[in-house]
Structure 1
Amino acid sequence: MAQQHGRPLAVLTSLFFMWGLITSLNDILIPHLKALFSLSYVEAMLVQFCFFMAYFVVSLPAGWLLQRLGYQRGLVVGLGTIGVGCLLFYPAAGAHAYPLFLGALFVLAAGVTLLQVAANPYVTLLGEPETASSRLNLTQAFNSLGATVGPMVGAVAILGAADHAVGAQADPSSVQGPYLVLAGLLFLLAVVVAWVRLPDPRRLVEAQQAELRGSAASADAGEQGSLWAHRHLVLGAVAIFAYVGAEVSIGSLLVNLMGEPAIAGLSAAEAGKWLSLYWGAAMVGRFIGSALMRKVSAARVLAAAGLVNAALIALAIAVSGPVAMWSLLAVGLFNSIMFPTIFALALEGLGALTSRGSGLLCMAIVGGAIVPLAQALLADHWGLLPSFAVPLVCYLYIAHYGGWGHQPAGPAVTEPAEPLRAPRAAAQGA
């Protein structure tokens, strides 16, 4: 089984890496564009608002598109869309227009959304259901590797320009080169994905059905019922909203926070390099979490991680200074297991409703648009460090979900998970 699914897992892992890198570059864009266009925190946070709003707008159409095109072609379209979004940074920088940057980010994020809707539930299917959380954590460790590389590259290629812009006008062209290189890599990866043979998701579902219930299992048994009747799914969507919002809020404002004299007094480029620790800790934590959850309940690990992060943020707000910087960087370690664990817990037992449930969870990623904007509003009026109370509340809710909210209370569904319905076209990659 492991050897049979080795190639598709390797392909998916490369996609996780790329969208991790691209997403974390937003944390570098925010301080750069804030300096370039003299923006408030709220205005600068429109970068994340436009990026993550795409998840809300595109998630359901992405599910429909995957059904029409098939899984493999959908991945190719997603990669191509991200590449086009990267190319749009070139004219945006040339025109020196902030709205064009935001438009490019929306297009780029639309492609990432298509990949997310497909890849997360597909990984849960490539193996035993009991190890789905562990498998997602393992593949998303490479997402964190990409997110670690992103700030390091961006700090050198992009934020250096912001640091040299003191008393002068920053040069928007510093974003053109990095995003052109990214576009080329994405188009190349799209060609590779188009040539690799991937298994049909329907056949994987049928294999699980045969294992659990025999070859006579009904393919329609899991179609009945409403998503909203599954309490653990609905509360899981709120947990995804809270998690993505908290993670993005902290990552987006850490560079500015580390630049404050009362905290660390770092330059933007130097702070951008330290930001890699935030994402690097998440990468390490996912490898640890993947092993830990083979022995400890995933829900218990999630609850403990939520409580620890809430305590770290409370410590940062109370103490300030370098302690605040290190406490907030340490949050990344405990962020590590949250998204894939919540995702897997929320989809548990949904059967053939899994594809729709996955779409709902991906829509909840819009938390990355709303929560950072709320924190930015508080930062503009109360101060940057006190505004971190917003992600603190998010982590308390996540701890609640791990402790109690994940427990299913909706109708029992015995049908194995079906991540994507992609008739006919999906067979192209089989």
Structure 2
Amino acid sequence: MDDFIAARSQMALSLGFHIIFSCVGMVMPFFMAIAHYKYLKTGDKIYKGLTKAWSKGIAILFATGAVSGTMLSFELGQLWPKFMEHAGSIFGMPFSLEGTAFFVEAIALGFFLYGWGKLNPWFHWFTGLLVGISGLASGILVLAANAWMNSPAGFDFVNGEYLNVNPVKAMFNDAWFSQALHMIIAAFIATGFAVAGVHAFMILKGKNLVFHTKAFKIAAISASIAALIQPLSGDISAKDVSKRQPEKLAAMEAHFHTERNADFILGGIVNENEHKVDYAIKIPGLLSFLSHGDFNAPVKGILDFPEQDRPPVAIVHYAFQIMIMLGVALMIISILYLLAILKKKSWLSKKWLIKLFVMATPLGYIALEAGWVVTEVGRQPWIIYKIMRTSEAVTPMPGIAYTFYLFTLIFMSLSLIVIFLLYRQIKMVPYLYDETDPKFIHKPTNK
């Protein structure tokens, strides 16, 4: 494997793995805080058990996320030394602040895990909420750094030198808000549907019905609301990308030729040789409207950009289509579930609705990973958009392919360990609240 491709593949693998734990760290503490709040208000021990169960799961995923995040920090310097040499002082501020947020998150999680019966109940609840707030802040700060790569700001680039550095302007660049908003909502969708799906599966198995039903409701309502508002952030992102990175937009829609009343393409097979998309569903004028708010506005085609500056069309288009189609599927499930809560109460006990959530368990994260591919691959061939090419930033050190294979093995091992630990945690649910409580359904056995 070519060292340049190996370096990109290793970074992609590391980011793809870490992003899951980042999303869990941003979202799950809020679910935990909701359950804990309900326990404090009602005294229902099932909510206490649920809070403990989720907190232990958060601890497992937090530890794994800390490992993968540390690896990423080293990879930035080792794989992309030229990038860090020039960019480190410019966008270093959000990374340093992210480190502070991470420490706050770790300390708050420690207080929460070991504070049962030792702290004031409401202060204890606040420490759990603080885990979520600091996790959310951490995610936003990292996204600000990534957005800077898509929309570099806060410096003057003169004769190959980076002058007049302003870290604040770099952090609050033109892309940070739309990118952070879209990603945060996506994190709630992905994590919410994953958590709801796991509890829906346990409901279908008939174990700890009250426990899993309460857990399912918290996650499902949160995920459904997020899924229904995501198109609004998607519209903001589309209009932002159309202004700042028109070649990325063209790749997303496999839009080869500049035209007015441009079609929005669904599906299809990209034919890059003949500059067309076969077997696609085309909605006339919608791409122009989504990009510029005008059905007749011109949308620049990918062929109008220099060949050396074009992102790979097929990869970006297929990733974008996966994100869109899975997003629509999750929206449909969300509408059905919220309709069941508001109008069709009888649906809540129907197996078909619970099975939909079970099937949707991985879909949010697949859509999220696809969206990340659109963001990162759509920026290529630039590591700093229009400033530095990715090929210029890569390390000259040989043998990167071997580290890629090693990291692949490490991440596969970590994945298996996390799955095993979370499975054990789910099996431990019966032990997490008082067996004498009349709502305790499934007593553990010695088998």
Structures share fold, TM-score greater than 0.5: no
Q: Report which structure shows greater RCO (CA 8 Å, sep ≥6).
A: 1
TM-score bracket relative to the smaller structure:
0.3 to 0.5
TM-score (norm 1): 0.37
Write 1 or 2 for the structure with the bigger share of strand: 2
Larger radius of gyration: 2
**TM-score between the two structures when normalised by the length of structure 2:** 0.36
